[in-house]
Amino acid sequence: MALAGGALERRAREEGFRVHAIPASSVRWDGSSLLRKLMRDHCYEIVHAHDPHGLTLAWLAKAHRRAVLIAQRRVANPLSRGPFARTRYRAARRIFAVSKFISDSVIASGIAANQVEVVYEGVKLPDRTTLSQRESARERWKFGAADILLGCVGYLLPEKGQEALIRALPAILKDFPPCVLVLAGDGPTRPALEKLAHSLNVQRSVMFMGFIERIENLYHALDLFLFPSLAEPLGTSMLAAMSYGLPVVGVASGGVPEFVSSGKNGLLVPGPDPEAFATCVKRLLHNREEAHSFGEAARATIEQKFTDDCMVEATIEKYQSLLTKS
């Protein structure tokens, strides 16, 4: 089931899946009625709700009485205290959290620990970036061969920490003038970030890319990836950067320490601190062999545990386990 006219419906149909579309005008009641009918007409063994709205529909349709109900949890916000908010989560046989950080937040909200399991989200493991791909990606945005590209991908919000990267630039540029901070994504803090770059006189070394549809082209072009976000549930853009073999520097909070081991496959700093980010960036640029080693180790980490195939296999394994127990 998917929202009518949404991206999920479109992509699922393109992949050949049968989709039951829910009208956007009355999602809750039409959706629960449709699911209740589907549960009567078909012997579905599992209902997997991927967001709170989907879980509400499943709960209203009493899907948990006929099948194994699974709720997905991707955010660390405490579970809502509104009427029936926790009831619908307790109705689920399992809650799949995308990181231990999220799992802990669900348990702290009052859900039993034996009801929550971690299933890490995964990213597609790309082919290694070739020299021609790198050159083509840089030409696309008119970057020079000598430019050192420091990338960050994410919505522009205060909690995403891009301000720290701009404030780190003067110290970085003092040692490495060819550096360019590439910010991919858009959001409400963009005007303030642009103003900050001008006030620090680094506006020529910051590129605001806005939304990029084919983000893989940017990963091919980068030299380092920076992730200043605080309390990120998992950090998919950082996982993607690691899959491309990029050396990464991130904040040791949220789900990030679950896949970045500082000094082994990247570097972590305690918080979105400009001085700390500048120190780490300069360390990696001064020691390119270490940076390359971190990049190789980062890609190996993704390959071993955080690919989309790993995610699918782990999900199927847990499905089978739950069905066996039931």
Domain that holds residue 262: 131-305
CA distances from 140 to 144, 151, 245 (A): 11, 15, 21
Res 270: pLDDT: 96
Across the chain, mean pLDDT equals: 93
**Are 144 and 260 in a shared domain?**
yes
Q: For 288, what's the count of Cα atoms within 13 Å in the CB-facing half-sphere?
A: 2
pLDDT tens digits along 215-267? 999 999 999 999 999 989 999 999 999 999 999 999 999 999 999 999 999 99
**Are 28 and 90 in a shared domain?**
yes
Candidates 45, 50, 44, 36; CA nearest to 95 is 50
Answer whether 182's CB lies under 8 Å from 222's CB: yes
- For residue 138, the Cα-to-chain-centroid distance in whole angstroms is 24
Higher pLDDT, 30 or 133: 133
pLDDT bucket at 281, cuts 50 / 70 / 90: very high
CA distance 220 to 257: 24
> Is the overall model pTM greater than 0.75, yes or no?
yes
CA distance 269 to 280: 8
**Are 168 and 101 in a shared domain?**
no
Tokens of 213: 């549809």
Q: What CATH code is carried by the domain that includes residue 221?
A: 3.40.50.2000
**Are 20 and 115 in a shared domain?**
yes
Answer whether 88's CB lies under 8 Å from 62's CB: no
**Are 215 and 164 in a shared domain?**
yes
Residue 125 has pLDDT above 90, yes or no: yes
Hey, CA dihedral for 105, 109, 114, 115, is it positive or negative? negative
Tokens of 39: 């549960």
